[in-house]
Chain A
Amino acid sequence: MEIVMAFVIGILFMSATYLMLSKSLLRIIIGTGLLSHGAHLLILTMGGLKRGTVPLLGEEASSYTDPIPQALILTAIVISFGVTAFFLVLAYRAYKELGTDNTERLRGNEGND
Chain B
Amino acid sequence: MSLLHLAIISPFLLAIFIPILYKLFRNIHTGWFVLPLPILLFSYFLSFISITSTHKTITESVPWIPAIGVDFIAKVDGLGLLFALLITGIGSLVVLYSIYYLSKDKEKLNTFYVYLLLFMGAMLGVVLSDNLIVLYTFWEFTSFSSFLLIGYWYDREKSRYGAQKSMLITVLGGLSMLGGIILLYIMTGTFNISEIIAQAAGITENPLFIPALICILLGAFTKSAQFPFHIWLPDAMEAPTPVSAYLHSATMVKAGIYLVARMTPVFASEGLWVWLIAGFGIATLFWGSFNAVRQTDLKAILAFSTISQLGMIMSLLGLGAAALHFDDVKNSFYGAATLAAVFHLFNHATFKGSLFMVVGIVDHETGTRDIRKLGGLMNFMPITFTLAIIGTFSMAGLPPFNGFLSKEMFFTGMIRVLELDIFNFETWGMLFPVIAWIASVFTFIYSMVLVFKTFTGKYQPEKLEKKPHEAPMGMLISPIVLASLVIIIGFFPNILANSILSPALESILPNNNIDVHISFWHGFKPELFMTIGVIALGILLFLTLPKWKRVYDFFPKKLTLNRLYDNGLELIQRASNKLTKTYMNGSIRTYLVYIFAFFIFILATTIAVKNAFIFDTSNISSIGFYEVLLALAIVIGSISILFVNSRMTAIILLGAVGYTVSLFYVLFRAPDLALTQLVIETISVALFLLCFYHLPKKRNEERNRFKLTNAIISIGVGAIVTVIALSAHSNKVFDSISEYYVENTYTEAAGKNMVNVILVDFRGFDTLFEITVLTIAALGIFAMIKLRMGGKKKNENK
Residues in chain A within 8 A of chain B (CB atoms) = 1-24, 26-30, 33-34, 37-38, 40-42, 44-58, 64-68, 70-71, 73-75, 77-79, 81-86, 88-93, 95-97, 99-104, 106-109, 112-113
Q: Which residues of A contact B641 (CB under 8 A)?
A: 15, 19, 30, 34
Q: Are B676 and A91 in touch, CB under 8 angstroms?
A: no
Please name 25 pairs of A and B residues whose Cβ atoms are closer than 8 Å in the assembled complex, sorted by A.
Answer: A2-B620, A6-B722, A11-B635, A14-B717, A15-B642, A17-B596, A18-B711, A22-B710, A30-B688, A34-B657, A44-B668, A45-B728, A46-B729, A47-B736, A53-B669, A65-B669, A68-B738, A68-B741, A70-B673, A71-B758, A71-B759, A74-B673, A84-B687, A86-B780, A109-B797
Other A-B pairs, 14, CB within 8 Å; known A4-B623, A44-B673: A2-B620, A8-B634, A12-B634, A13-B717, A17-B710, A23-B702, A46-B728, A49-B668, A67-B741, A82-B777, A85-B777, A89-B784, A100-B696, A104-B587
Task: List the one stretch of B160-168, B218-226, B352-360, B765-773 in contact with chain A.
Answer: B765-773
Cβ of B3 under 8 Å from chain A: no
Q: Which of B647-701 touch A at CB < 8 Å?
A: 647, 650-651, 654, 657-658, 661, 664-665, 667-673, 676-677, 680, 683-684, 687-688, 691-692, 694-696
- The prevalent SS among residues of B at the interface is helix
Residues in chain B within 8 A of chain A (CB atoms) = 586-589, 592-593, 596, 617, 619-624, 627-628, 631, 634-635, 638-639, 641-642, 647, 650-651, 654, 657-658, 661, 664-665, 667-673, 676-677, 680, 683-684, 687-688, 691-692, 694-696, 702, 704, 707, 710-711, 713-715, 717-719, 721-722, 724-726, 728-729, 736-738, 741-742, 745-746, 752-755, 758-759, 763, 766-767, 770, 773-774, 777-778, 780-781, 784-785, 795, 797
Distance between Cα atoms of A7 and B778 in the complex (Å)? 35
3 closest pairs, A vs B, by CB? A14-B718, A10-B722, A67-B754
Q: Are A68 and B737 in touch, CB under 8 angstroms?
A: yes
Distance between Cα atoms of A41 and B704 in the complex (Å)? 28
Q: Which residues of A contact B623 (CB under 8 A)?
A: 1, 4
Task: Identify the closest chain A residue to B670 (Cβ).
Answer: A70
B117 to chain A, nearest CB (A): 38
Q: Are A54 and B669 in touch, CB under 8 angstroms?
A: yes
Distance between Cα atoms of A90 and B782 in the complex (Å)? 11
B647 to chain A, nearest CB (A): 6
Q: Are B737 and A101 in touch, CB under 8 angstroms?
A: no
Distance between Cα atoms of A10 and B725 in the complex (Å)? 8
Distance between Cα atoms of A81 and B588 in the complex (Å)? 22
Q: Are B721 and A42 in touch, CB under 8 angstroms?
A: yes
Distance between Cα atoms of A51 and B738 in the complex (Å)? 13
Distance between Cα atoms of A83 and B695 in the complex (Å)? 19
Q: Are A2 and B621 in touch, CB under 8 angstroms?
A: yes
Task: Identify the closest chain B residue to A15 (Cβ).
Answer: B638
Q: Are A56 and B752 in touch, CB under 8 angstroms?
A: yes
Q: Are B657 and A71 in touch, CB under 8 angstroms?
A: no
Question: Contacting B773 at CB < 8 Å: which of A2, A58, A70, A82?
Answer: A82
Q: Are B691 and A91 in touch, CB under 8 angstroms?
A: yes
Q: Which residues of A contact B596 (CB under 8 A)?
A: 17, 21
Q: Are A3 and B714 in touch, CB under 8 angstroms?
A: no
Q: Are A17 and B702 in touch, CB under 8 angstroms?
A: no
Q: Are A57 and B754 in touch, CB under 8 angstroms?
A: yes
Q: Are B617 and A3 in touch, CB under 8 angstroms?
A: yes
- The prevalent SS among residues of A at the interface is helix
Distance between Cα atoms of A58 and B756 in the complex (Å)? 13
A113 to chain B, nearest CB (A): 8
Q: Are A66 and B592 in touch, CB under 8 angstroms?
A: no
Distance between Cα atoms of A29 and B690 in the complex (Å)? 14
Question: Contacting A14 at CB < 8 Å: which of B714, B774, B785?
Answer: B714
Q: Are A30 and B588 in touch, CB under 8 angstroms?
A: no
Distance between Cα atoms of A14 and B296 in the complex (Å)? 72
Q: Are A13 and B721 in touch, CB under 8 angstroms?
A: yes
Q: Are A57 and B688 in touch, CB under 8 angstroms?
A: no
Given contacts A55-B669, A103-B587, contact A85 B635 (CB under 8 A): no
Residue of B593, B669, B719, B746 with most chain A CB atoms under a 10 A cut-off = B669
Distance between Cα atoms of A39 and B618 in the complex (Å)? 24
A10 to chain B, nearest CB (A): 3
A100 to chain B, nearest CB (A): 7
Q: Are B781 and A86 in touch, CB under 8 angstroms?
A: yes
Q: Are A75 and B759 in touch, CB under 8 angstroms?
A: yes
Task: Identify the closest chain A residue to B785 (Cβ).
Answer: A89
Q: Which residues of B contact A103 (CB under 8 A)?
A: 587-589
Distance between Cα atoms of A52 and B746 in the complex (Å)? 18
Q: Which residues of B contact A102 (CB under 8 A)?
A: 702
Distance between Cα atoms of A86 and B586 in the complex (Å)? 22
Q: Which residues of A contact B774 (CB under 8 A)?
A: 78-79, 82
Given contacts A4-B627, A54-B671, A70-B670, contact A97 B795 (CB under 8 A): yes
Task: Identify the closest chain A residue to B705 (Cβ).
Answer: A22
Question: Contacting B688 at CB < 8 Å: which of A55, A88, A112?
Answer: A88
Distance between Cα atoms of A51 and B619 in the complex (Å)? 11
A14 to chain B, nearest CB (A): 3
Q: Which residues of B contact A95 (CB under 8 A)?
A: 694-696
Task: Identify the closest chain A residue to B630 (Cβ).
Answer: A8
Q: Are A3 and B620 in touch, CB under 8 angstroms?
A: yes
Q: Which residues of A contact B778 (CB under 8 A)?
A: 82
Q: Which residues of A contact B617 (CB under 8 A)?
A: 3
Distance between Cα atoms of A20 and B695 in the complex (Å)? 18
A43 to chain B, nearest CB (A): 10
Distance between Cα atoms of A70 and B673 in the complex (Å)? 7
Residue of A26, A29, A40, A74 with most chain B CB atoms under a 10 A cut-off = A74
Given contacts A1-B620, A66-B736, A101-B695, contact A18 B714 (CB under 8 A): yes
Q: Are A67 and B589 in touch, CB under 8 angstroms?
A: no
Q: Which residues of A contact B627 (CB under 8 A)?
A: 1, 4
Given contacts A51-B621, A67-B755, contact A93 B773 (CB under 8 A): no
Q: Which residues of A contact B647 (CB under 8 A)?
A: 26
Distance between Cα atoms of A90 and B726 in the complex (Å)? 36
